[in-house]
Structure 1
Amino acid sequence: MSEDRWNTVLVLGGIRSGKSGFAESLVAGAPSVRYVATAAGGEDDPEWQDRIEAHQRRRPQSWTTEEVSREPALLTELLLSASAGETLLVDDLGGWVAAVLDPSRQPNDDEADVAALAAAVRDTAARVVLVSPEVGLSLVPLNPVGRAFTDALGTTNQALAAVCDGVALVVAGQPSWLKGSAAPVDAAAPIEAAPPVVASRPIAMATPSTPAPPPPPAQPPAEPPAEPATVVVPLTTPEPQPSAALSESTMMLPLVASGLTEIKPGMDLPLPNSDAGPDARERLTDLDLPGAGLGALAEAVEFAAATQNTTTPRAWSGVRVVVVTGSRAGGAAAGSDEADVERRIAETERGEGLLGRLAAQAGADISVLRTAPVGAMEDGPVTVEDAVETALRDGWKLADAAVDAGRDVILLAAIGTGAEAAATAVLAATTGAEPVATLPRVLVPGGRFDDAAWMVRCAAIRDALHRIRQEPRGATDILRQIGGLDVAVATGLLLGAAARRVPVLVDGPLGIAAGLVARDLASQTRHWCLLPESGTLALVKQGADVLGLTPVLQTGLDLGEGANALSVLPLLRTAISLAASSPVHPALLSEVGDDGLDEDTDDEIDDEDTDVDEDGPDLSFNTAAFNTVNFREPGA
């Protein structure tokens, strides 16, 4: 058994319960993972293939995939041959049971196959996480084939639960440990006090420090004052008091009154509502909008709906722009003008400059956090582990401060030197991307590219990756070796925002790098992130693809980190407001057709649901709720 007290874990859950995402979070800290896929067939089913591809996109490219769908004995052999240093994720056992029951294998001793698998799980030297559908709460199938499958899967789940170190049940994205725990908390360990912020400056606000009630979604933001006020938002939180919950074995996030005790791989953060987003997008087809509707902006509507847990999301009324600054020594900063960077940071702190003007136009406030300089990545680790831990906490507290101030969305921005090189190195180290294909060119004032500086940055990344080729690749290792404190602060911000259920608009290399690192600490964080504009950088596009982030717009803006998102933010809010305030098309209120209703169901609807009065149609009736689709899934 490993030092964190588990070697094998069985993760159970129903359809769309989030079991696969939770299982992936348990192995996120492993240097490498062998993903064992059991799904078979579906080559002629586009929807099935889309589900498989969605699973593939959210897995790190450093993971390897092995197929065991055709012969059940392959999984048993794979487990027995795995070595002590390996980590395996088997997703899921439903596919394995279907292969066991394949008519072409009958007659066969299916119980012997289950017993052999359980013995292999018990005897394997590797760390193994197995995902399996929970069928014990479903209705008894009406046909013999269905009953045989549920009986066999139930028997398999029981056999594996008996030999695994831990068993977790995931319901609506929330795991409960039925046996053991993959992240036990040491009851004897003292609760660590929240460390101080690395370095902070006053926060320049584009609106007065006393917040006014937010305007209705359909109204534009209030005009900001001509002279922005300056206020200081405290980044410290009260010392959490000891709680009995901290002495129990649990995978729930170790938070007490917004304080945290430890940031480590396998954190259990909440997920947005997986049904609200698609339902909101489906609802757009019924709205009384001219032409083809909102087009690409439907992505923003779906995201807002999922994160707000409603099919009629409201436009974001309280926006906080968090600007993280950092500087690096060595080749990563080649071609940078530190004096010019400092000028732009100072302007932003005063609420001036490009970010200040755009924030004022959007009715957003700005929080600037300065991080300490870090070393050259080609020479050795850029910072120390304690500084990384502190920076992660500082980022978490930035998210806490935004939520406590009533903000409903955070926009992550950055100003500094060497961030592009650091983000390129993080992308290469975590996904295997080629640095020379993703490192942005070095642009100097006057529209001129400094190719000599670009080559120096490439060399620094090459040397850094060569230096860490045999080093661990965990999240904190990446931050300490090549990422730096600004990436660590941004990572902590994404984790804290997910914990507080507030969405984050990412923009630029730093946000993408932070998303890649945060994914290995808690895979749920990426579901709270939106990429408003793709920009022009291959680094951002490739990193976003790995994270599964689809850019809402592709306008070709290249204004710097945070400015692209701020520029298109008013358009996103307009689209969300239209989706919330537009009525259903009158033709769909009285006719059978595009709304998906048939003659039988239409007769059963109360008259009050379809009445049209002087205030307009009643939007409380959701026609999409009557459209049912049977889904199959490869894992969750």
Structure 2
Amino acid sequence: MSVDGWNTILVLGGIRSGKSEFAEALVADAPTVRYVATAADAPTDDAEWAARLATHRARRPETWTTEETADDPRRLADVIAAAGPNETLLVDDLGGWATVLLDPAHQPADDTATIAELAAAVRSCAARLVLVSPEVGLSLVPTTPLGRAFTDALGAANRAVADACDAVVLVVAGQAAWLKPGAPQPVAVPAQAAPAQAEPAQARAAAVATVATGQPVAAPQPSPEVLTPGTSPAPVTPAASGGTGWAAPTVALPMVATGLVIQPGMELPMPDEYTGPQAIERLATLDVPGAGLGVLEQVVGFAAATQGTATPAPWDSVRVLLLHGDHLGGAAAGNAEGESARRARQARAGQGALARLAAESRAELQVVEVPTSAPMEVEQALAGEQVEVALRYGWRLAEEAADAGVRLLVLGACGAGTEAAAAAVLVATAGAEAPAVLRRVVTDSGEIDDAAWMRRCAAVRDALHRTRLSPRSAKDVLAELGGGDVAVATGVLLGATARRLPVMLDGPVGVAAALVSRDLAGQARHWCLLADHGGHPAVRLAADVLGLTPLFDLRLDLGEGANALAALPLLRSVLTLAAALPAHPSLGGGGAAGPDTDEPDFHEPEPAGPGPTSTDGPDFREPAGPGPDEPDFREPEPAGPGPVSTGPETEAVDPSGRRAG
């Protein structure tokens, strides 16, 4: 048996039930996977089936290898039996295998014996094995002999393989039901066991107690309290201060609830591609005395795209997530011991720059304890299983914010060594150089400590050298270099993207998480906004790589999260103006003008008496002359005959608008 409770597993499901995605998620943590494709190639006249096969191939990671067994259905048993204990096999699917088995080209054959051989190979398989198969037992009896032969063969194969496997799961409409648990036995907590008073995200977490591997999962512990600075803060709970609230694995993810896990290539929503440009175009029509909003137009476009409307509303509900977790080793060189913990306590107490600005901005504040990261120059910053938990924890924090009606998340961090960890992530993912992205170290007394800066650079250099042969996948980078805060921040970005919740980044940790999230879900960066680069070289470079343009060049250095809150009132003002200002009167906007104002009335007045302009009817008349406050837009009549009056009335009009004379 493998360490997570099963060695072989059968994934059953109907058509389009999500069984293949579920199976792929089960092996997502494997460094390499041998994908065994059983179906024959699509006929030349079946474009739809060819497209399905192409979709399956496209979502397989580059580290996976593919092996075809369609030429000989008996070969599948040989492949499974020969697999070694260090291998991971994914067989998709037994329906294709049964189709090939019944092909006249492979008849006559003893189908019963072939199925028995397959079951025996599964039972003795030393590798980690996942098999996918359609469930045909719930369908109607086919009306054709060939259809009945297929259901009989596949039903017999499913029964035999299920008996040989350690675990069996049935996927129905994307929901996983464990039919045959592995060892240890997963404990399924029914939905009604969730406490009635739980928040929506926590209720979803309590409703499902098994992750994709079939392991038992404890219900998530309470999340850190959400503070409202400006009022007396509630007593600090152990989950908020002790750093243990994050540690329990959580399944509060829409995908984990169906048995999936956070993995590369997730398809998450994108902002609305139409409302953003529409909002920018609308700004040009507003009644603004000057040239407009300048570079802050992009704030309106961003808010419009993320809210799905051309007239976005100001962010009325904002929550700041302050991640506190230190990095040990050379990354923390120059940081006073205990300083980051003091900043976290200060924020919880409603004191300090961040809490004061949050109170001024009417923003909530949530201080999140994340795991301490080991010295990255000598070992992994975070164990692989901790990375998975941290990602899910960050996702749950974003879900809880969305369920609470939060319209904008602000992401910051206050741990020691965060800048060096973020720099290491930037070096690994963007090809930067550590000295170029690590700013100089300034002590609490205001002095520049170049010795500490060199130790940080050396820590990043040694960490990159230690991991030079390691893969550079998102989870590997988080485990080797990023550590707890970057991992939780990455989960926050992914969860916020899934819930269409925009995130304002502030500082190195946020942009490092955005860089990592590209490999998991490329859509995440489109939900990110960067207010100010703070003069930080790592933030500048990461923003350039991500395609994010900082809104300001204020070089604020008030601490992560506080810089964004300092800019938030201006951003809200911009959105308020964009939503409230009418169109310019010249474009038909009523504005605040009325009959008692000095603004011209654009209803053309009736002439006082008959004249040359009244012969064509009242609908086409021009005013006899300008009023005292109105400009005359009519071309003057010539005093006598001239070039403009001698031509016939039927002469074609010059479309260019140029005068003839």
Corresponding residue for residue 412 of structure 1: 411
The answer to whether the aligner puts 1:205 opposite 2:228 as a matched pair is yes
What amino acid sits opposite 1:313 in the alignment? P
What amino acid sits opposite 2:34 in the alignment? E
Q: What secondary structure is seen at the aligned counterpart in 1 of 2:439?
A: coil
CA distance 1:482–1:295, shift in 2 (3 Å): same
Q: What secondary structure is seen at the aligned counterpart in 2 of 1:505?
A: strand
Task: Report the Cα offset of residue 196 of structure 1.
Answer: 6.2
Q: What secondary structure is seen at the aligned counterpart in 1 of 2:412?
A: strand
Corresponding residue for residue 326 of structure 2: 327
1:31 and 1:238 mapped to 2: Cα distance? 27
Task: Report the Cα offset of residue 3 of structure 1.
Answer: 3.3
Answer whether contact 1:28 1:265 (CA < 8 A) is retained: no
1:490 and 1:269 mapped to 2: Cα distance? 17
The answer to whether the aligner puts 1:307 opposite 2:330 as a matched pair is no
Corresponding residue for residue 358 of structure 1: 357
Answer whether contact 1:204 1:348 (CA < 8 A) is retained: no
Corresponding residue for residue 254 of structure 1: 255
1:360 and 1:485 mapped to 2: Cα distance? 28
Answer whether contact 1:516 1:547 (CA < 8 A) is retained: yes
Aligned ranges for residues 147-166 of structure 1 at < 5 Å?
A: none
Q: What secondary structure is seen at the aligned counterpart in 2 of 1:550?
A: coil
Aligned ranges for residues 96-111 of structure 1 at < 5 Å?
A: none
1:198 and 1:457 mapped to 2: Cα distance? 35
Q: What secondary structure is seen at the aligned counterpart in 2 of 1:298?
A: helix
Under a length normalisation based on structure 2, what TM-score does the superposition of the two structures give? Answer: 0.56
Deviation readout 1:412-459 (Å, 9 max, x if unpaired)? 011111100000000000111111101121111122111000000101
CA distance 1:570–1:337, shift in 2 (3 Å): same
Aligned ranges for residues 354-503 of structure 1 at < 5 Å?
A: 354-503=353-502
Deviation readout 1:214-270 (Å, 9 max, x if unpaired)? xxxxxxxxxx54x345687998999979xxxxxxxxxx96254xx874111011111
Corresponding residue for residue 38 of structure 1: none
Task: Report the Cα offset of residue 525 of structure 1.
Answer: 0.4
Q: What secondary structure is seen at the aligned counterpart in 1 of 2:405?
A: coil
What amino acid sits opposite 1:204 in the alignment? L
The answer to whether the aligner puts 1:517 opposite 2:516 as a matched pair is yes
CA distance 1:419–1:240, shift in 2 (3 Å): closer
What amino acid sits opposite 2:423 in the alignment? T
CA distance 1:429–1:301, shift in 2 (3 Å): same
What amino acid sits opposite 1:292 in the alignment? A
Deviation readout 1:308-367 (Å, 9 max, x if unpaired)? 000000000110000111111111111111222211110011221111001000000111
Corresponding residue for residue 34 of structure 2: 3
Answer whether contact 1:200 1:370 (CA < 8 A) is retained: no
1:556 and 1:26 mapped to 2: Cα distance? 43
Corresponding residue for residue 539 of structure 1: 538
Answer whether contact 2:441 2:450 (CA < 8 A) is retained: yes
Answer whether contact 2:176 2:259 (CA < 8 A) is retained: no
Answer whether contact 1:28 1:520 (CA < 8 A) is retained: no
Answer whether contact 1:195 1:390 (CA < 8 A) is retained: no
- Larger relative contact order (CA 8 Å, sep ≥ 6): 1
Answer whether contact 1:287 1:582 (CA < 8 A) is retained: yes
Corresponding residue for residue 132 of structure 2: none
Q: What secondary structure is seen at the aligned counterpart in 2 of 1:282?
A: helix
Answer whether contact 1:341 1:416 (CA < 8 A) is retained: yes
2:541 and 2:375 mapped to 1: Cα distance? 25
Task: Report the Cα offset of residue 203 of structure 1.
Answer: 3.5
Deviation readout 1:386-415 (Å, 9 max, x if unpaired)? 111111111011101111111111100111
Answer whether contact 2:219 2:250 (CA < 8 A) is retained: no
Answer whether contact 1:327 1:373 (CA < 8 A) is retained: yes
2:505 and 2:37 mapped to 1: Cα distance? 35
Answer whether contact 1:199 1:369 (CA < 8 A) is retained: no
Task: Report the Cα offset of residue 275 of structure 1.
Answer: 1.1
CA distance 1:285–1:333, shift in 2 (3 Å): same
What amino acid sits opposite 2:525 in the alignment? R
Q: What secondary structure is seen at the aligned counterpart in 2 of 1:458?
A: helix
475-484 or 190-199, larger mean C-alpha shift:
190-199
Task: Report the Cα offset of residue 556 of structure 1.
Answer: 1.9
1:194 and 1:575 mapped to 2: Cα distance? 46
CA distance 1:587–1:478, shift in 2 (3 Å): same
What amino acid sits opposite 1:3 in the alignment? R
Corresponding residue for residue 573 of structure 1: 572
What amino acid sits opposite 1:412 in the alignment? L
1:29 and 1:335 mapped to 2: Cα distance? 41
1:314 and 1:4 mapped to 2: Cα distance? 48
Q: What secondary structure is seen at the aligned counterpart in 1 of 2:365?
A: strand
Task: Report the Cα offset of residue 374 of structure 1.
Answer: 1.8
2:371 and 2:395 mapped to 1: Cα distance? 17
Q: What secondary structure is seen at the aligned counterpart in 2 of 1:346?
A: helix
Corresponding residue for residue 100 of structure 1: none
Corresponding residue for residue 286 of structure 2: 287
2:436 and 2:250 mapped to 1: Cα distance? 46
Answer whether contact 2:441 2:453 (CA < 8 A) is retained: yes
Instruction: Give ranges in structure 1 of 5+ residues lacking alignment.
Output: 11-22, 33-182, 207-223, 242-251, 592-636
1:509 and 1:6 mapped to 2: Cα distance? 43
Under a length normalisation based on structure 1, what TM-score does the superposition of the two structures give? Answer: 0.58
1:590 and 1:401 mapped to 2: Cα distance? 42
Aligned ranges for residues 124-273 of structure 1 at < 5 Å?
A: 191-192=210-211, 201-206=224-229, 224-225=230-231, 227-229=232-234, 254=255, 256=257, 261-273=260-272
2:510 and 2:502 mapped to 1: Cα distance? 13
CA distance 1:371–1:358, shift in 2 (3 Å): same
Answer whether contact 2:269 2:500 (CA < 8 A) is retained: yes
1:440 and 1:345 mapped to 2: Cα distance? 23
CA distance 1:386–1:198, shift in 2 (3 Å): farther
Answer whether contact 1:533 1:564 (CA < 8 A) is retained: yes
CA distance 1:194–1:366, shift in 2 (3 Å): farther
1:523 and 1:561 mapped to 2: Cα distance? 24
What amino acid sits opposite 1:524 in the alignment? Q
Corresponding residue for residue 275 of structure 2: 276
Q: What secondary structure is seen at the aligned counterpart in 2 of 1:523?
A: coil
CA distance 1:503–1:447, shift in 2 (3 Å): same
Answer whether contact 2:582 2:589 (CA < 8 A) is retained: no
Answer whether contact 1:491 1:518 (CA < 8 A) is retained: yes
RMSD: 3.5
What amino acid sits opposite 2:554 in the alignment? T
What amino acid sits opposite 2:588 in the alignment? L
2:318 and 2:474 mapped to 1: Cα distance? 28
What amino acid sits opposite 2:578 in the alignment? A
Answer whether contact 2:474 2:519 (CA < 8 A) is retained: yes
CA distance 1:312–1:525, shift in 2 (3 Å): same
Answer whether contact 1:396 1:492 (CA < 8 A) is retained: yes
What amino acid sits opposite 1:358 in the alignment? L
Q: Give the fraction of aligned pairs with identical amino acids, expressed as a percent.
A: 47
2:586 and 2:177 mapped to 1: Cα distance? 62
2:396 and 2:581 mapped to 1: Cα distance? 37
CA distance 1:368–1:406, shift in 2 (3 Å): same
Deviation readout 1:168-214 (Å, 9 max, x if unpaired)? xxxxxxxxxxxxxxx999987874166666996544322xxxxxxxx
